[in-house]
Amino acid sequence: MAALWSRTREKQKASDEVLIRSLYEEHGRALLAYAQRLTGDHAAAEDVVQETLIRAWKHPDALVNGKGSVRGWLLTVARNIITDRYRAKAARPTEVAEFAAATPVERDHADAVVDSMLVMEALDRLSPDHRSVLEEIYFQGRSVAEAAKALGIPPGTVKSRSHYALTALRDLYGDRPTTPAKFVALKEVAV
C-alpha cells in the first residue's frame, strides 16, 4: 500500500513540475514584463512571478475551467498579488525606534575656527572693493547681478573684481599646505 501511495505521489510531483515548467515557458516573459511595469523593480517582479506560479500550482483547476485564457488568469493573479503587497505596505504603521537615538558626537571645531581666522585675515589684505565683491557673492550668496545692484556697480565690474580678488587670494594662500576649505571652494569657482 505504501509503495502504491509513493508512486502516485511521484506521478503527481512530475505532473506538477511539468505544469509549472510549461506555464513558465509559455507565459513567464509576459508575466515578468507585466509585473515589472507595475512594480518598477525587477527583483520584486520576479517574486510576483514566482508567487503567481505557486498559486497556479495550488489551483490547477482554474487553468482548465474554460472561463478564459490562462494568460489572462495569470496576469490577474499577478496584479492582485502586487495590489495586496502595496496595500499591506501602506497599512503598516511606521516603525519607531525603541530607544531615542544617542546624541551625535560633535567633532572638534578647532579647524573651522582656524579656517575662519585665516579667511578673515585674507579678506583684510584685499582692497575694500575686492573684499566687498567677495562678501556679496560668497558670504551673502548673491548672484553677479544681485551683487552689482547691492554695490551699485555694473555686473562686468563685479565679475572683474571677483576674478582679481580670487587671484590675489590664490597668490597669498595657494602655496600653504593647509588651505582653508573656503579658499578651496573659492579657487574652484575662480578656475
**Residue 101 falls inside a structural domain:** no
Closest residue by Cα to residue 110 from 170, 180, 169, 187 = 180
Same domain, residue pair 114 and 153: yes
**Residue 162 falls inside a structural domain:** yes
Considering 91, 122, 152, which residue would you say is the last residue of a domain?
91
DSSP 142-171: --HHHHHHHHTS-HHHHHHHHHHHHHHHHH
Whether 79 has a pLDDT exceeding 90, the answer reads yes
Conformation bin of residue 179: beta by default, left when phi > 0, alpha when psi is -120 to 50: beta
| Contact present, 22 and 63 (Cβ < 8 Å) | no
**Residue 100 falls inside a structural domain:** no
| Contact present, 137 and 158 (Cβ < 8 Å) | yes
**Residue 31 falls inside a structural domain:** yes
Q: Taking residues 74-85, what's their average pLDDT?
A: 91
Considering 63, 91, 119, which residue would you say is the last residue of a domain?
91
Radius of gyration of the chain (CA): 35
Taking the complete model, does pTM exceed 0.85, yes or no?
no
Same domain, residue pair 116 and 149: yes
**Residue 2 falls inside a structural domain:** no
Whether 119 has a pLDDT exceeding 60, the answer reads yes
Q: In whole angstroms, what separates CA 154 from the centre of its chain?
A: 42
Considering 24, 56, 91, which residue would you say is the last residue of a domain?
91
| Contact present, 56 and 74 (Cβ < 8 Å) | yes
- pLDDT band, very low/low/confident/very high, at 47 (cuts 50, 70, 90): very high
- Residue 36 belongs to domain with CATH number: 1.10.1740.10
Helix 181-190 vs helix 155-173: crossing angle, to nearest 10: 130
> Strand, coil or helix: what is 98?
coil
**Which residue segment(s) compose the domain that 62 sits in?**
12-91
59-63, 152-156, 181-185 — most confident range: 152-156
Q: In whole angstroms, what separates CA 44 from the centre of its chain?
A: 17
Number of domains in the chain: 2
**Residue 119, C-beta contacts closer than 8 angstroms, at least 6 positions apart:** 180, 182, 183
Whether 129 has a pLDDT exceeding 70, the answer reads yes
Same domain, residue pair 81 and 23: yes
**Residue 105 falls inside a structural domain:** no
Same domain, residue pair 78 and 138: no
Whether 130 has a pLDDT exceeding 80, the answer reads yes
- pLDDT band, very low/low/confident/very high, at 188 (cuts 50, 70, 90): very low
pLDDT digits (tens, 9 = 90+) for 131-181: 899 888 888 888 999 999 999 999 999 999 999 988 888 887 765 545 445
Q: What gap in Å lies between CA 121 and CA 156, rounded to an integer? A: 27
Same domain, residue pair 115 and 185: yes
pLDDT of residue 187: 46
Rounded to the nearest 10 degrees, how much is the dihedral formed by the CA atoms of 57, 59, 61, 66?
Answer: -100
- Residue 145 belongs to domain with CATH number: 1.10.10.10
Q: What gap in Å lies between CA 78 and CA 71, rounded to an integer? A: 10
Same domain, residue pair 84 and 114: no
